[in-house]
Structure 1
Amino acid sequence: MHDLRRQALESGKTVSRKARSRVASGASSKANSARNSPAQSRANSRGPAARHSSDDEEYLSDGTAWSHNSIDDLLNGEDVDLPADAWKSELHTRIEQIVDRKRSCTDGRADSLAAFAHILMARFAKDIIEGQMDELLPSMVRSIKAETSERETVMALKALTVTIVTMDSDDIYDSVADVLKRSIADSESNQVKISGIHALGMAAFLGGASEEEQEDIMTFFLEIVESDGLSVNAHDEGSVVTAALEEWGLLATDFEDLEEATETAIEAFVEQLESADAGVQVAAGENIALLFEKSYTPLEEDEEASGDEDGSDDSDEGSSGHKMVKRYSVYRRQDQLIHTLDELANVSTRSISKKDRKTLHSSFADIRNSVEKPTRGPKYSTALDQDTGRAYGGGRMKVKINRSVEVRIDKWWKLHRLSALRRALQSGFIHQYDENEAVSRCIPFSVAAKR
């Protein structure tokens, strides 16, 4: 494990020739990122789980003229004097403030964008914003392009991301892709880069990008990973690399055949297992697990079983009974990879925080399991049921939507999509899954068993 730590990001991990060749010779690493992005400095001091769950919430409430409590009162109708649809009036007001740029200031627009995003996360409001997209989208793009302040830009990016999920429109990607890529590459703020990466990933996933355009965005994200952030002037910034890894994984779930993409990506992901940033390591590991999962597909009816099929105990979707067939090799040094994953699953060095150690142990135990047995998804249990004598298997990770519907996260592609949608919708995910067809379409549900 000591060897893994010697090539830490913060100690200046060597960039490969392949990575350097992708980056312009005049590119320089970003200076004094803490000064430009105090929120990012706070994020780096916490474990990956804390960053993923709380950064958006911090940023939404930091310095705004309104409070979450006041907006939540409107959303939840806790004040008996408030009409049930009071949040709709508030949303209309915020839209007017975002669109009317001549009468707004930078701080005011940031407040309105933050409130708009918060409401849109918690309520499915496509019918309200659909008719105003011709003004709303260009205004958000202008806030991103101008980057008058870090906070306004980040709020615009978050508002854009949740708008994409709400609209589920094929017309958004073309309007925002170029400005998002420029913002990611040129901004001096790491927080802007991170939010921009997540917005671009969602735009390519739900905003109408073609398959070729999705592949181009995946290449863009992979260049960030291969260069440790240098390709977007964020060298050795672990959170930027983590965002690129996460969004690459999201887009990869949209492809049935990942053989060609696997050949170019697997080396970069394996290399990032040596990062000192736990978020980078986990995101790289989850992408590796996804690539192994994708290398197996069900045995077709007209195919004959060979030595490469997997047993019915590990059948696709848990209950389908399909035998799974290995279609191609993911990584030529699989034994070495499993050894690395074992070390990460059992890391005990005190140089890593207790929270990060717990995250690494939990994540890499699952990742290692899937690399060895690619038909096993996250949280697969090898423990034996005393009644049947069979392994409990997958499906232990569940998200309960209501009394009769639950989402079983028994595949890595489902986990990637769940994580992306939770980043965009935060605590509003459950409500959106119930109301927004775009969200429920991304992750199939299962009927909860009756007790």
Structure 2
Amino acid sequence: MHDLRRQALESGKTVSRKARSRMASGASSRAGSAVNSPGASRAASRNASRANSDDEEYLSDETNWSTNSINGVLNGNGDDAEVPADAWKTELNTRIEQIVNLKRSTTEGRAESLNAFAHILMLRYARDQIENRMSELLPSILRSIRQETTLHETICALKALCVVIVTLDSDDIYDKVADVLRRTISDSELSAIKVGAIHALSTAAFFGGTSEEEMEDIMSFFLEIVESDGLAVGAHDEASVVTAALQGWGLLATEIEDMEEATENAIEAFVDQLESADAGVQIAAGENIALLYEKSYTPLEADEDVDEADLDSEDEDQPNHGDRMVRRYTVWRRQDQLLHTLDELATIHGRGISKKDKKSLHSSFSDIRNSVEKPTRGPRYSTALDQETGRAYGGGRIKFKVNRNVEVRIDKWWKLQRLDALRRVLQGGVPQHHSENDVVSRCLPFSVAGKH
């Protein structure tokens, strides 16, 4: 077992308890609830930076290439008076023509056009500009995904598809893209493409008009990936693939009202992944656990008679403490063991852990443990007392600023899951879309700055 753990740490891949059991068949089971130290973080991993609201952090390397060539056009209404304010529309139309005109395009040319197209859509709400071109655009984007001519073109096409889905607010786009994306997840030989397709499928399911039944089916698909450590889609112990599946599952779970059955099916897999050798996998699994605990509580209904033990005991500390919250079901029967594991992750140390991973684990799992113990506490809940009111500051210390007067208080795990998903798709364009795109503002309701 020690050798297997050492190999996992050296490889940087995720190896959960179930995987180690399969690899070491016949070995004795682990004693207690010891947590494996995570190994070096994946280079391609992007752990959620839950305390930082700076959207520039989410601009990826693949998008940054275009800042010099395109941002001047996008910022035409700024200092450069020589660039017309609507020049970005002309540039967008040029990129659309390049994407749909396959006969005159090269592989690298298509990748560049897809990347520029996605970058413009991230930073400008352009539904009116693309809606009447979708009969040409969508087949071309899907062709680039399906053919996998190069890694670069396929990744750019997947990113373009995600931002198109969020921009369009279409009730039928899921049906048009789901089969291609599921085949890509299962059949592609490249982990990076699987990751992009997983995020695209979860984006399509959440924003693209799917039914709750179909959404639950996709969640089951993602759960198979997690339970098998990626083996279900030919990516055994690929941390990036498992992380993407965890994140996709978490996003879709925010949309399901009654999570009792889904919780019973998923919680063991998430607890197992807390022992992964990869910090990104551990954090994504932990945030899903916190979400499940949060969703196990719902408001007390009028004239409802419940056991006092099932009532939230900290309502007086909440800004909306008049709404009593009631535990509807048990998330995990061995909660003491889970809290012990979360304590270890929140204070983990060791030479084999990078400073960045250690900081992420400490910050994330302090919040996750807090929510497992008290599920009405959201991320970054503070028990410190406000000197003016005498109450705990509570949640909402993470604030996503849309503009000077509008902000979103990320005081719930479901909000954090959605914000992270939007940032994966729109990167630095989330504020612009939140101001103009109803899909995004419905996804993350706002509050007036300075008010709860």
Same fold (TM over 0.5): yes
**Count of residue correspondences:** 423
Distance, in Å, in 1 between the alignment partners of 2:316 and 2:160 is: 41
Q: Would the aligned equivalents of 2:287 and 2:368 in 1 still touch at CA under 8 Å?
A: yes
Aligned AA (1:57)? S
Show the counterpart of 1:286: 287
Show the counterpart of 1:402: 403
Distance, in Å, in 2 between the alignment partners of 1:436 and 1:398 is: 19
Deviation, structure 1 residue 313: 2.7
Distance, in Å, in 1 between the alignment partners of 2:316 and 2:89 is: 48
1:234 to 2:235 alignment: yes
Question: Closer, same or farther in 2 for the Cα pair 1:230/1:55, shift >3 Å?
Answer: farther
SS at match of 1:377: coil
More off after superposition, 265-274 vs 68-77: 68-77
1:267 to 2:268 alignment: yes
Aligned AA (1:188)? E
Q: Which has the higher contact order (CA 8 A, sep 6+)?
A: 2
Q: Would the aligned equivalents of 2:311 and 2:326 in 1 still touch at CA under 8 Å?
A: yes
Aligned AA (2:169)? D
SS at match of 2:384: strand
Question: Closer, same or farther in 2 for the Cα pair 1:291/1:48, shift >3 Å?
Answer: closer
Aligned AA (2:61)? E
Show the counterpart of 2:196: 195
Deviation, structure 1 residue 174: 0.4
What pairs with 1:167-316 in structure 2 (closer than 5 Å)? Answer: 167-307=168-308, 308-311=310-313, 313=315
Q: Would the aligned equivalents of 1:315 and 1:322 in 2 still touch at CA under 8 Å?
A: no
Distance, in Å, in 1 between the alignment partners of 2:268 and 2:7 is: 16
Deviation, structure 1 residue 200: 0.3
Question: Closer, same or farther in 2 for the Cα pair 1:204/1:82, shift >3 Å?
Answer: same
Show the counterpart of 1:100: 101
SS at match of 2:408: strand
Q: Would the aligned equivalents of 2:59 and 2:428 in 1 still touch at CA under 8 Å?
A: no
Show the counterpart of 1:161: 162
Show the counterpart of 2:124: 123
Distance, in Å, in 1 between the alignment partners of 2:43 and 2:271 is: 27
Q: Structure 2 length as normaliser, TM-score?
A: 0.88
More off after superposition, 404-413 vs 70-79: 70-79
SS at match of 1:310: coil
Show the counterpart of 1:439: 440
Aligned AA (2:71)? D
Q: Would the aligned equivalents of 2:123 and 2:426 in 1 still touch at CA under 8 Å?
A: yes
Distance, in Å, in 1 between the alignment partners of 2:304 and 2:374 is: 21
Distance, in Å, in 1 between the alignment partners of 2:87 and 2:379 is: 41
1:60 to 2:60 alignment: no
SS at match of 1:375: coil
Q: Would the aligned equivalents of 1:312 and 1:322 in 2 still touch at CA under 8 Å?
A: no
Question: Closer, same or farther in 2 for the Cα pair 1:264/1:337, shift >3 Å?
Answer: same
Q: Would the aligned equivalents of 1:286 and 1:412 in 2 still touch at CA under 8 Å?
A: yes
Q: Structure 1 length as normaliser, TM-score?
A: 0.88
Aligned AA (1:309)? L
Show the counterpart of 1:91: 92
Aligned AA (1:370)? S
SS at match of 2:350: coil
Show the counterpart of 1:352: 353
User: Alignment RMSD, CA only?
Assistant: 2.6
Q: Would the aligned equivalents of 1:48 and 1:278 in 2 still touch at CA under 8 Å?
A: no
Deviation, structure 1 residue 165: 0.4
Show the counterpart of 1:25: none
% same residue: 67
SS at match of 1:350: coil
Show the counterpart of 2:369: 368
SS at match of 2:348: coil
Deviation, structure 1 residue 43: 1.8
Distance, in Å, in 2 between the alignment partners of 1:349 and 1:100 is: 55
Show the counterpart of 1:75: 74
Q: Summarize deviations over 1:349-374 as a string: whole Å, max 9, x none.
A: 12110011000000000000000000
SS at match of 1:43: coil
What pairs with 1:321-332 in structure 2 (closer than 5 Å)? Answer: 321-332=322-333
Q: Summarize deviations over 1:409-440 as a string: whole Å, max 9, x none.
A: 00000000000001100000111111101001
1:113 to 2:81 alignment: no
Question: Closer, same or farther in 2 for the Cα pair 1:444/1:241, shift >3 Å?
Answer: same
Q: Summarize deviations over 1:360-416 as a string: whole Å, max 9, x none.
A: 000000000000000000000011223333211111111111222110000000000
Show the counterpart of 2:30: none
Q: Would the aligned equivalents of 1:7 and 1:13 in 2 still touch at CA under 8 Å?
A: no
Aligned AA (2:72)? D
Unaligned runs of at least 5 residues, structure 1: 21-39
Deviation, structure 1 residue 312: 5.3
Unaligned runs of at least 5 residues, structure 2: 23-40
Q: Would the aligned equivalents of 2:227 and 2:269 in 1 still touch at CA under 8 Å?
A: yes
Deviation, structure 1 residue 49: 5.2
